[in-house]
Structure 1
Amino acid sequence: MSINKRETLEILGISVDKVDMSKALSRFSELMDTEECSLIVTPNSEIILSATKDSALREIIASADLVIPDGIGIVHASKLLGQPLKERVTGIDFMEMILVWLQEHEKSIYLFGSKPGTEEREAVCDIAAKKKQLQYPNLKIAGTHHGYFKPEEEDSIVEEINASGADFLCVALGSPRQEDFIARRRKELKVKAAIGVGGSFDVWAGTLKRAPEFYREHGLEWLYRLIQEPSRYKRMAMLPVFMLKVIMNKSKS
């Protein structure tokens, strides 16, 4: 897939790349050959819905170099719009493919975000880094930094990331804060590409369980998350709202 040619699908005015896992990884490989820091976004239906109301988030997604269809709602919406996506490309599965690619190409990664350490345990990013290092022995982890910091500390964190010599940056600050960070600092960041990864560090570290295969295969990860975290019910309610908006939007066109 040419770096200058992207096939996209528009959902509620937000463009999403029409990629499967293979094409997404191919695009990632191209982005890692560019000079400036590329932005990769992994929106689900909740983020798309938020972007329809938040012009700043909408502009960030529009400026991204790769927007993968992470979320079963996006796949369903693509079918309703008559442009069915081949598959859902979940951010956490995409990240596993990226880690393999980074190891094979001898490129390094920096993990930034998630909870800091306590007296009982290390920072989540450090636990995640150690576990991924065991899984991928030749993976180069350039550095880590937790996601609990004051605004005035942001400059020094950017300096730390750059000083590490990392080729790729993962930011786990939650959406849209993680995307906002990358978009604002991408001209200063010396990494080749950066991605917002939400709760991936928690899954890698083992502090949050990922849905079993049955739930993933049937697009029910949202249900598993709801069982684990009942407080997320308001966020889960966004999915039917999203689908209704897609249907209403289609009927107007």
Structure 2
Amino acid sequence: MSKVNILGVDFDNKTFNQFQNEFINRLNNHLSTFIVTANPEIVMAANENPEFMKILKNDPDYITADGIGIVKAAKMLKQPLPERVTGYDLFTWLMDVASDRGSRVYLIGAKPQVIHAVQSKIAKEYSNINLVGAEDGYFTEDLELVARRIQKAQPDKDYAALGFPK
């Protein structure tokens, strides 16, 4: 798998269409997939926090270039990425896939008013999705408690819009 290293973070050198093909294959094979859509702020945070960098080095299955600054940095390094692959674009496409498959979905992150708006939009535009949970990202509980709550809901897919350090 081709990677482009930008300040220690390895970005997958793929187009949006290539990501889609790989994700469909992983979904069809029931493979858990952890995707990080990293922008320049995430790269800088990882460079300031060794534990965060360790997570980005070891845990994600994919890291996409979610920021034009990442695409420009890759070009400057003479290892151009084919395009920007944003979290929003991946999310809306994955929601289409989830709706087509009648998936159980759990959402976590964003401000309270944003998560409520997303819940409403899902009800209107993705009627086949079974939304088994949705909560904003301003929780104060221990992450283990939140993880158990998500696990108890038994989603097929969970989407997190949590900034660093969560």
Q: Structure 2 length as normaliser, TM-score?
A: 0.87
Whose strand fraction is larger, Structure 1's or Structure 2's? 2
**What SS does structure 2 have at the residue aligned with 1:68?**
strand
Provide Cα deviations, 1:189-214, integer angstroms capped at 9, x if missing partner: xxxxxxxxxxxxxxxxxxxxxxxxxx
Q: Which moved more, 1:13-22 or 1:143-152?
A: 143-152
Aligned residue-pair number = 164
Q: Please show how residues 112-131 of structure 1 align to structure 2 within 5 Å.
A: 112-116=108-112, 124-131=114-121
**Residue 51 of structure 1: how far off its partner (Å):** 1.4
Q: 120, 127, 134: which one pairs with 1:137?
A: 127
Map of 1:71 onto structure 2: 67
Sort the Cα spacing of 1:88 and 1:147 in 2 relative to 1 into closer, same or farther, 3 A. Answer: same
Determine which structure has more spread, i.e. the larger CA radius of gyration.
1
1:149 maps to 2:145: no
Q: 17, 22, 27: which one pairs with 1:22?
A: 17
Sort the Cα spacing of 1:174 and 1:110 in 2 relative to 1 into closer, same or farther, 3 A. Answer: same
CA contact (8 A) 1:24 1:68 kept: no
Map of 1:56 onto structure 2: 51
Provide Cα deviations, 1:12-47, integer angstroms capped at 9, x if missing partner: 221010111111222323443345x43211111121
The one-letter amino acid of 1:106's match is G
1:40 maps to 2:35: yes
Write the distance in 2 (CA, Å) between the matches of 1:26 and 1:56.
Answer: 31
- Alignment RMSD (CA, Å): 1.9
CA contact (8 A) 2:71 2:80 kept: yes
The one-letter amino acid of 2:35's match is I
Map of 2:153 onto structure 1: 164
**Residue 86 of structure 1: how far off its partner (Å):** 1.4
Percent identical across equivalent pairs?
A: 31
CA contact (8 A) 2:35 2:61 kept: yes
Sort the Cα spacing of 1:13 and 1:149 in 2 relative to 1 into closer, same or farther, 3 A. Answer: closer
**What SS does structure 1 have at the residue aligned with 2:38?**
coil
Write the distance in 2 (CA, Å) between the matches of 1:158 and 1:66.
Answer: 21
Q: 87, 93, 112: which one pairs with 2:89?
A: 93
Sort the Cα spacing of 1:99 and 1:82 in 2 relative to 1 into closer, same or farther, 3 A. Answer: same
**Residue 164 of structure 1: how far off its partner (Å):** 1.7
For structure 2, the residue ranges without an aligned partner over 5 or more in a row are none
The one-letter amino acid of 1:46's match is E
User: Stretches of 4+ moved more than 6 A in 1?
Assistant: none
